[in-house]
Amino acid sequence: MSTDPADPVYDRADRRLREQLGGMDLDALLEEHRHHPYGPHSDELARLLTSFRKAGVGGKYVIYSQGDDDGWVIGRLNVRDGRPRIYLETVTVYASSALAQHAVLEARLENLRNPVGEAP
């Protein structure tokens, strides 16, 4: 399998970013996001969110609206046969897209604290 000579550069940047994020008061940032899921956000929270948003398509979170009266659920994208596919987690239904936005951040932070090998 061919590798890009630049891969170690990105790996190093990712490690350093995770170290920086580890130094943040994540509980405080989570609380800020709970109150303002669509912003405005402090510089530190914006930095945290940007780090998650930069990830590639594979494993990325999406929110799916089942209709205004039927709630919002979280999904993830997986690339199969070169095409992204959406896998929805329909057990937990959120009453608003804002609550679903916050649930995604909670899931990402959980993965940051306890990595399981998936993209954040």
Contact residues for another protein, defined by CB under 8 A: 37-41, 46, 50, 53-57, 60-65, 68, 72, 75, 77, 82-88, 97, 100-101, 104
In the bound state with another protein, the residue whose beta carbon lies nearer, of 26 and 119, is 119
**Which element (helix H / strand E) includes 51?**
helix 43-53
In the bound state with another protein, the residue whose beta carbon lies nearer, of 26 and 98, is 98
In the bound state with another protein, the residue whose beta carbon lies nearer, of 23 and 67, is 67
Question: Residue 41 carries which DSSP code?
Answer: -
Crossing angle of helices 43-53 and 97-113, in 10° steps, is 80
Question: Residue 54 carries which DSSP code?
Answer: T
